[in-house]
Amino acid sequence: MDYIKLTPPLKNDDIEKLKAGDRVLINGYMFTARDAAHKRLVELIDKNENLPFDPTGQIIYFVGPAPAKPGQVMNSAGPTTSGRMNPYSPKVIAAGLKGMVGKGEMGPGVVEAMKKHKAVYMVATGGAGALIANAITGSEIVAYEELGAEAVRKLTVKDFPAIVAQDCHGGNIFIEGVKKYKRE
């Protein structure tokens, strides 16, 4: 099975082609945000204020990266539990977000937002944060530096590996299993 290459900003056509179980490699850049940052983003959306980055067509990686050692861009960058973003993700998706990467299943409200606005949820391998960090070639803080590991960052990535877990068609590897979606 081949990997599907994704380079944000993503369009509806890019998302509609993805199916649960597809393996992807993300290139270019994506943003990081966990629950504390998501809460702030949604507060700005609710106030109709500008976000610290334009989410249109972008991917957010749910991660709290470990501080880099000298000579590293990032020490470890394993995915965090995505369910904590369930209260916030529908509004960020409605604001233009096209992809999310984390671990664990997203809830029904997020699934409905993904169907309505053409977005996708992908998983990265938990426990492989040091290995995943090798795909990150650059990192800069975009907002909320005071949140430390939960600050919003813009990551430059090369062949960042993920698996489509929940697609915009309702496909879900957590319910139906990976084997159903395996493409030959």
pLDDT at 22 over 60: yes
> Would you say 164 and 1 are in contact if contact means Cβ atoms under 8 Å apart?
no
> Annotated catalytic residue: which of 38, 91, 98, 118?
38
Confidence grade of residue 184 (pLDDT, cut at 50, 70, 90): very low
Contacting residues for 177 by C-beta, under 8 A, at least 6 apart: none
Average pLDDT over residues 55-83: 86
Annotation marks residue 169 as catalytic: no
Q: Kindly give the pairing relationship between strand 99-102 and strand 136-143.
A: unpaired
What pLDDT is recorded for position 91?
A: 98
| pTM for the model | 0.91
Each residue's pLDDT tens digit, 84-131: 999 999 999 999 999 999 999 999 999 999 999 999 999 998 767 777
Q: Residue 139's closest CA among 157, 160, 122?
A: 157
Average pLDDT over residues 134-152: 92
Q: Where are the beta strands (DSSP E) in the chain?
A: 4-6, 23-32, 59-61, 99-102, 120-123, 136-143, 152-166
What pLDDT is recorded for position 66?
A: 74
What mean pLDDT is reported for the chain? 91
What pLDDT is recorded for position 100?
A: 98
Q: What is the CA radius of gyration of the chain?
A: 15
**Selected residue with higher pLDDT from 112 and 67:** 112
For residue 18, give both structure tokens: 């993805």
